[in-house]
Amino acid sequence: MAMIDDYLARTPRSRALFERATRSIPGGSTRTTIYSAPYPPYVAYGEGLRIHDVDGNVYRDFLGNYTSLILGHAHPAVVAAVTAQVRRGSAFGAPTETEVELAEELRRRLPALERVRFTNSGTEATMFAIRAARAFTGRSLVARFQGAYHGTHDLVMAGTTGVPEVMSGLIVELPWDDPDGVEAGLRGREADLAAIIIEPVQGAGGVRAASSAFLAFLRSLADRHGALLIFDEIIAFRVGPHGAQGRAGVRPDLTTLGKIIGGGYALAAFGGRADVMNVFDSRQPGSISHGGTFNGNPVAAAAGLATLAELPPAAFERLDRLGDRLRAGVAGIIEDEHLAARVDVVGSLFQVWSGAGISAVATGVDVVPELFLGLLLEGFYVAPRGMGGIPLIATEGDIDDFVAAIGRTLRRIQRVPSAIAAS
């Protein structure tokens, strides 16, 4: 049976929900990134590594809400912390100690985070980090990298539909891991440069780590030109106890965080040098206004704290081992069977490329629908673009099963004509 027919046969309730959803929500859901053709499975509930869809199909979830659920679904420690907080109230027009505790915990993990503020999403975190850099430097130009994803506010979406053309003049895109190309891309505009923002490990652009040498080069370049260096670690933070910056040994001026620090709830953060972050000190005249009804929300902060408590350095060592096991397993199959595929792994983050996707690594824009669909049929859930994050609760057996499923899927999609293309 063609994959698409198989999927349609297994997911009638998801299909009905999708059709119903499109009558209220354009595209059937509120998140561009979770759409996949012909429609995504609608989830009923999640439990540990597994999610159950409304048709009763069960998937081992290696996406974990785009790498944010590092402990899996409904982890008992997180459920207990959240329940306790909800009983005490869910949100106040006043600060709480929970927010302070989370700030302190993040500072313990990231020495560069001298001060930190919370937001509800990574989009807001990068927006405010950039605003801080502009306020501090008095400059407006921002540099980013090919394949980068920093959320959806106007500046980082410059050049796309609905964003005024004027935004494109305020941001410059630089080549990845190419010091000469970076210098050339900035030439003549250095004095206007407020910040360089980079994901030290790219997520959406394919899981790829910038070399320590490249990050060190950016550090000295930013210093040379009086600009700030921002590490967007919204995904990358999970690659080590001190994030990607600890792994690379390079200290940014500002860092953005999200995903795992909210323990599965809506929370993100930005922070860094105290002198820069002081632009938000409400006690100072002229400070930047940073409102947000749910900023530092105690329920999300409690979930984040409970999650980080489960992540001592040994947890990252375990995640690294599971990541190595996944890479070795998939790479072995690709090599043995001469498949047109590739696997990239950094810590517990992974990206599987198939067929034409391999050549798209440089731009980071590619979707291989058959890979996603094939893995769904195997009972595994990843991003439609073949990316995911291994949760701490996965066992070596889960990894081995996942490797075998990736192997079967790659063989299936590379040896039979594409069901989707044909339909």
Active site residues: 149, 232, 259
Strands 228-232 and 193-198: parallel
- Residue 398 CA to residue 169 CA, distance in Å, equals 47
150 part of the interface to ligand PLP, by CB under 6 A: yes
| Residues touching ligand PLP, count (CB under 6 A) | 16
What does the alpha-carbon distance between residue 346 and residue 238 come to, in Å, rounded to a whole number? Answer: 10
* Contacting range for ligand PLP; rule: CB under 6 A; set: 76-84, 149-157, 275-283, 330-338: 149-157
Question: Is the CB of 257 or the CB of 419 nearer to ligand PLP?
Answer: 257
Could you say which of 243, 258, 263, 264 contacts ligand PLP (CB under 6 A)? Answer: 258
Establish if 232 lies at the interface with ligand PLP (CB under 6 A): yes
The whole-angstrom separation of Cα 345 and Cα 319 is 11
Residues 234-253: x where in contact with ligand PLP by CB under 6 A, - otherwise, as a string: xx------------------
Pick from 121, 118, 127, 144: which is nearest to 33 by CA?
121
Distance, CA of 248 to CA of 211 (rounded, Å)? 7
**7 or 62: CB nearest ligand PLP:** 62
Half-sphere exposure of residue 405: CA atoms within 13 angstroms, side-chain side: 23
Among residues 14, 98, 121, 348, the one that binds ligand PLP under rule CB under 6 A: 121
What does the DSSP 8-state code read for residue 288?
A: P
Report the nearest approach of ligand PLP to the CB of residue 422 (Å).
32
What is the closest distance, in whole angstroms, from the C-beta atom of residue 191 to ligand PLP in the complex? 27
Whole-Å CA distances, 189 to 71, 164, 218, 227: 44, 21, 16, 11
Strands (E), 208-348: 208-209, 228-232, 254-257, 268-272, 341-346
Site string for ligand PLP, 175-204 (x = CB under 6 A): ------------------------x---xx
**Closest distance to ligand PLP from the beta carbon of 181 (Å):** 21
Among 38-46, 116-124, 139-147, 219-227, the segment contacting ligand PLP (CB under 6 A) = 116-124
DSSP state of 146: T
The DSSP-derived string for 381-405 is: E--TTSEEE--TT--HHHHHHHHHH
Cβ-closest position to ligand PLP: 122
151 binds ligand PLP (CB under 6 A): yes
- Residue 331 CB, shortest distance to ligand PLP, in Å, is 25
Torsions phi, psi for 344 (to 5 deg):
-115, 130
The answer to whether residue 96 forms part of the interface with ligand PLP (CB under 6 A) is no
Under rule CB under 6 A, which residues in 307-366 are in contact with ligand PLP?
none
Sites of contact with ligand PLP (CB under 6 A): 66, 121-123, 126, 149-151, 199, 203-204, 232, 234-235, 258, 268
